[in-house]
Amino acid sequence: MSVTLSHQIGERRPAGTENVVLEVHNLKVYYTTPTGDVRAVDDVSFEIREGEIVGLVGESGCGKTTTAMAILRLVQSPGRIVGGQILLDGQDLVRLNERELREIRWTRISLIPQGAMNSLNPVMRIKDQIGDAIETHEGRLPRKELQERILKLLAMVGLPSRVYHMYPHELSGGMKQRVCIAMAIVLNPTLVIADEPTSALDVVVQRVVGETLLEVKNRLGVSMILIGHDMGLMAQLVDRIAVMYAGRLVELSDVYSLFKEPLHPYTQLLIESIPSIKERKPLKLTEGLTHDLRNPPPGCIFQLRCPHVTDKCREVVPPLLEVQPHRRVACHLYYDV
């Protein structure tokens, strides 16, 4: 049997019109090391609106996953949240204790972790794993009701009902990934954080999983943070993109403007270096020097790789400012204009 997703991709929403569900203000997450603190997330601010998908992109080690973990309050030692606010519907998650967090995790914010398909319990049937998640938070439910809910969920992510009785090893990677999506939305959360949900999948499967995410977003109106580094996939899936570099948010923009005219030099580099299957173009070479995160230089964090670097960049940290409607960028090039 083949699994076909008949989906209707909804119009992407215009920016700036909906309720904000999550606000992150000046978040700082540092990792303690013997030779000083590594600033994994440094002064990051953004917000997520109702029913939108925000892509969080950047190269490995730039702080994408750490930012997501901080939102869930899952930063583990030696990491710690040093400062900032994380407001979920106005409630500051940074101040909550473990008991209060338990009530919020999964019911209001859920996670599709990196390599999620390997996070399924190999000795439990799919129905029991999903059922577990429901009953942990809602208490015991009548079997019949539980079954109906699980079958509905499986259908929503495009899986056939026989998956209900199966074990994880009987499923392919893409199917397991969709089970994880089903588990993430089982309690109807406000926000789903998906950490590289399609990496390690083949393009065709990747696309099916991506379309499943879009379908879920459109049907449930859930907000999502999609972490990844595949710009092509981002172009297909997200409404807005947040670009991180070395622990800082350097650009935040709606997806159309960002691909049409990237503002920050790092975003420009990111977009230019996407290999295309439409035209054969000369390779764009850059030296990948990043400064030591324990000891960031004064000024802009991108100065070592930036082709437009000036003296001011070496002295003053560029703040993230709105330079065009709904577009924020942290770069001195755009402030004077």
As a whole number of angstroms, the distance between CA 180 and CA 171 comes to 12
By rule CB under 8 A, what string of x and - marks binding of each residue 39-58 to other proteins? --------------------
The nearer residue to other proteins, 99 or 278, going by C-beta atoms, is 278
CB neighbourhood size of 13 (10 A): 16
Contact 39, 32 (CB under 8 A): no
The nearer residue to other proteins, 110 or 177, going by C-beta atoms, is 177
> Looking at 27-35, 42-50, 123-131, 169-177, which segment touches other proteins (CB under 8 A)?
169-177
Among the listed residues 50, 132, 232, 317, the single contact to other proteins using CB under 8 A: 232
What H or E segment, with its residue span, contains residue 20? strand 20-33
By rule CB under 8 A, what string of x and - marks binding of each residue 318-337 to other proteins? --------------------
Sheet holding 91-92, edge to edge: 36-49, 20-33, 79-88, 91-92
As a whole number of angstroms, the distance between CA 211 and CA 8 comes to 9
The nearer residue to other proteins, 19 or 60, going by C-beta atoms, is 60
Q: Is 171 in the site for other proteins (CB under 8 A)?
A: yes
Contact 213, 197 (CB under 8 A): yes
The nearer residue to other proteins, 283 or 337, going by C-beta atoms, is 283
Q: How far is CA 140 from CA 85, 135, 154, 332, in A?
A: 35, 5, 20, 57
Q: Is 5 in the site for other proteins (CB under 8 A)?
A: yes
Which residues 55-94 are close enough to bind other proteins by CB under 8 A? Answer: 59-60
User: Taking the complex as a whole, how short is the minimal distance between the CB of residue 279 and other proteins, in angstroms?
Assistant: 9
User: Taking the complex as a whole, how short is the minimal distance between the CB of residue 82 and other proteins, in angstroms?
Assistant: 25
The nearer residue to other proteins, 193 or 208, going by C-beta atoms, is 208
**What is the C-alpha R_g of the chain?**
21
The nearer residue to other proteins, 139 or 275, going by C-beta atoms, is 275
Nearest residue to 70 via CA among 30, 18, 103, 130: 30
Contact 85, 257 (CB under 8 A): no
The token pair at 53 is 């998908």
User: Taking the complex as a whole, how short is the minimal distance between the CB of residue 11 and other proteins, in angstroms?
Assistant: 12
User: Taking the complex as a whole, how short is the minimal distance between the CB of residue 217 and other proteins, in angstroms?
Assistant: 15
Q: Which residues pair with 195 in a beta bridge?
A: 227
Amino acid occupying residue 66: T
Which residues 243-302 are close enough to bind other proteins by CB under 8 A? Answer: 255-256, 259, 269-271, 273-278, 280-281, 283-286, 288, 290
Q: Is 208 in the site for other proteins (CB under 8 A)?
A: yes
* Residues whose CB is less than 8 angstroms from the CB of residue 91 and which lie 6 or more positions away in sequence, other chains included: none
What H or E segment, with its residue span, contains residue 315? helix 311-315
Nearest residue to 236 via CA among 219, 205, 259: 259
The nearer residue to other proteins, 142 or 282, going by C-beta atoms, is 282
> Looking at 72-80, 84-92, 186-194, 224-232, which segment touches other proteins (CB under 8 A)?
224-232
Contact footprint for other proteins (CB under 8 A): 1-6, 9, 12, 59-60, 170-175, 202-208, 210-211, 229-233, 235-236, 255-256, 259, 269-271, 273-278, 280-281, 283-286, 288, 290
